[in-house]
């Protein structure tokens, strides 16, 4: 068996320990004689799995009691719709456009009411986070929406926007559980799990209770109401049982690693290895504004398209895979999620140094 160093932005690398455990339990989960994927979601055994997953996530993120943790199918794009459908009262949402995912959320909200773009970094290819200290927040805005970590461009908010008293909603898909976060500063935090947590197809929404409304937009389907999940413990219908089980294993793994403070320290160390090299390299350079750099996604380029392509081919052959930048921006991108070992980044940088030595004039 050969494992590669997988720098994919998502679906992405998983902790090996979690994969091994899941493999060992595949045929017989704790003496039940069946896999978790064969198990009734109404069984006591499964109830324990989902309850523990929720509790471990609450422990890791220090989630206050007045927030619900909801396991929802459909990934990120369903949340783009659920946010306005559930939060629109005045039918106004203020969006900060820092890339493709924030823009898609903004466009989706336009289906249900007024979605304002109150700041944007599109002028420079979304390579930075705009100044959010004095935003033109709409008096009637039901919320202000951000994408906290911009997976494609490698930027992150180091400071949250001043929302002028409006509830802040954040997409945390690509920085979920990468470092501690103060949940109480947000109305809703949601993330698709396939970037930094688990298998694709599941989103986790952490929603302050007063935002779980009954009077949602007329016509909102039952399965797109946060209340449906909140009232049923995310078991209104059959949830993605296996995904939740794997996420639960990742939560336990994170606890064993020392929790989110420890992950932050490790993620900072890993990112520094790559950024320090990029800043000193004569061939490669990072594309995100230094002040806004993400710990999770590191886009970089050479100034030569052919060299970029050659680098990707040679890296792939050497076992460093999925380094191609997003199809809309090109170049390279290394995603350094929690499960990427430090050794993977060190070896990548050693490989980049060799490539540089061969190809620098």
Ligand X SMILES: *Cc1c(COP(=O)(O)O)cnc(C)c1O
Q: Which of 192, 239, 248, 325 binds ligand X (CB under 6 A)?
A: 192
Span of 11-19, 72-80, 211-219, 266-274 interacting with ligand X by CB under 6 A: 72-80
Between 149 and 308, name the residue whose CB sits nearer to ligand X: 149
104 CB-near residues (< 8 Å, 6+ apart): 77, 80
Between 77 and 208, name the residue whose CB sits nearer to ligand X: 77
Please name the residue that has the structure tokens 């336990």: 252
76 interacts with ligand X by CB under 6 A:
yes
Give the separation between CA 28 and CA 34, rounded to whole angstroms.
Answer: 5
Shortest distance in whole angstroms from residue 192 CB to ligand X = 4
Shortest distance in whole angstroms from residue 334 CB to ligand X = 15
Span of 43-51, 155-163, 171-179, 253-261 interacting with ligand X by CB under 6 A: 171-179
Contact 296, 336 (CB under 8 A): yes
127 interacts with ligand X by CB under 6 A:
no
CA dihedral 198, 202, 203, 206 (to 10 degrees): -80
* Span 5-24, contacts to ligand X by CB under 6 A: 10
Shortest distance in whole angstroms from residue 152 CB to ligand X = 7
Q: Which of 6, 173, 234, 322 binds ligand X (CB under 6 A)?
A: 173
Is 195 known to be catalytic?
yes
- Sign for the CA dihedral angle at 65, 70, 75, 77 comes to negative
Between 174 and 227, name the residue whose CB sits nearer to ligand X: 174
Give the separation between CA 205 and CA 8, rounded to whole angstroms.
Answer: 23
Span of 69-77, 111-119, 270-278, 348-356 interacting with ligand X by CB under 6 A: 69-77
196 interacts with ligand X by CB under 6 A:
no
Number of shown-chain residues binding ligand X (CB under 6 A): 12
Q: Which of 14, 83, 147, 340 binds ligand X (CB under 6 A)?
A: 147
Between 151 and 241, name the residue whose CB sits nearer to ligand X: 151
Span of 40-48, 57-65, 166-174, 302-310 interacting with ligand X by CB under 6 A: 166-174
Shortest distance in whole angstroms from residue 279 CB to ligand X = 25
Is 171 known to be catalytic?
yes
Is 210 known to be catalytic?
no
SS3 call for 192: strand
What is the token pair recorded at 1?
A: 């068996």
Among candidate residues 101, 106, 190, 253, the one labeled active-site is 101
Give the separation between CA 34 and CA 17, rounded to whole angstroms.
Answer: 21
Give the separation between CA 42 and CA 63, rounded to whole angstroms.
Answer: 26
Give the separation between CA 178 and CA 195, rounded to whole angstroms.
Answer: 11
- Residues 47, 49, 51, CA angle at the centre, nearest 5°? 65
CA distances from residue 258 to 64, 224, 265, 272 in whole angstroms, order as listed: 20, 35, 10, 20
Among candidate residues 56, 94, 142, 171, the one labeled active-site is 171
62 CB-near residues (< 8 Å, 6+ apart): 180, 183
54 CB-near residues (< 8 Å, 6+ apart): 69
Contact 117, 97 (CB under 8 A): yes
Between 91 and 104, name the residue whose CB sits nearer to ligand X: 104
Instruction: Give the bridge partners for 320, in sequence order.
Output: 5
Among candidate residues 68, 195, 270, 324, the one labeled active-site is 195
Shortest distance in whole angstroms from residue 75 CB to ligand X = 3
Instruction: Give the bridge partners for 190, in sequence order.
Output: 171, 205
Q: Which of 11, 19, 21, 77 binds ligand X (CB under 6 A)?
A: 77
Q: Which of 54, 56, 171, 292 binds ligand X (CB under 6 A)?
A: 171
Please name the residue that has the structure tokens 């970094």: 121
Q: Which of 57, 61, 75, 181 binds ligand X (CB under 6 A)?
A: 75
Residues that bind ligand X (CB under 6 A): 10, 75-77, 101, 147, 151, 171, 173-174, 192, 195
Catalytic residues: 101, 171, 195
């Amino acid at each position: 068996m050969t494992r590669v160093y997988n720098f994919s932005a998502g679906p992405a690398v998983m902790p090996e320990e979690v994969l091994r455990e899941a493999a060992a339990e595949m045929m017989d989960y704790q003496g039940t004689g069946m896999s978790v994927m064969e198990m009734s979601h109404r069984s006591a055994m499964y109830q324990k799995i989902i309850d523990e997953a929720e509790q471990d996530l609450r422990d890791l993120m220090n989630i206050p009691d007045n927030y619900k943790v909801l396991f929802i199918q459909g990934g990120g794009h369903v949340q783009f719709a659920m946010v306005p459908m559930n939060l629109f009262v005045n039918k106004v949402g203020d969006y900060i456009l820092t890339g493709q995912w924030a823009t898609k959320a903004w466009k989706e909200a336009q289906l249900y009411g007024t979605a304002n773009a109150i700041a944007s970094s599109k002028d420079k290819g979304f390579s930075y986070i705009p100044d959010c200290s004095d935003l033109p927040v709409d008096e009637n805005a039901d919320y202000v929406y951000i994408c906290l970590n911009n997976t494609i461009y490698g930027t992150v908010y180091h400071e949250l926007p001043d929302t002028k008293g409006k509830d802040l909603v954040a997409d945390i898909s690509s920085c979920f559980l990468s470092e501690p976060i103060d949940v109480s500063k947000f109305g809703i935090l949601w993330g698709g799990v396939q970037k930094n947590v688990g298998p694709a197809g599941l989103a986790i929404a952490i929603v302050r209770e007063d935002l779980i409304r009954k009077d949602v937009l007329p016509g909102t389907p039952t399965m797109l109401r946060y209340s449906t999940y909140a009232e049923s413990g995310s078991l209104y219908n059959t949830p993605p049982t296996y995904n939740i089980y794997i996420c639960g294993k990742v939560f336990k793994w994170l606890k064993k690693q020392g929790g989110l403070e420890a992950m932050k320290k490790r993620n900072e160390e890993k990112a520094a290895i790559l950024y320090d090299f990029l800043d000193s390299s004569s061939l490669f350079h990072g594309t995100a504004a230094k002040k806004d750099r993400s710990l999770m996604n590191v886009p970089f380029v050479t100034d030569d398209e052919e060299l970029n392509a050659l680098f990707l081919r040679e890296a792939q052959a050497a076992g460093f895979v999925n380094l191609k930048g997003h199809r809309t921006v090109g170049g390279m991108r290394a995603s350094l999620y929690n499960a990427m070992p430090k050794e993977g980044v060190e070896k990548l940088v050693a490989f980049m140094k060799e490539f540089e030595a061969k190809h620098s004039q």
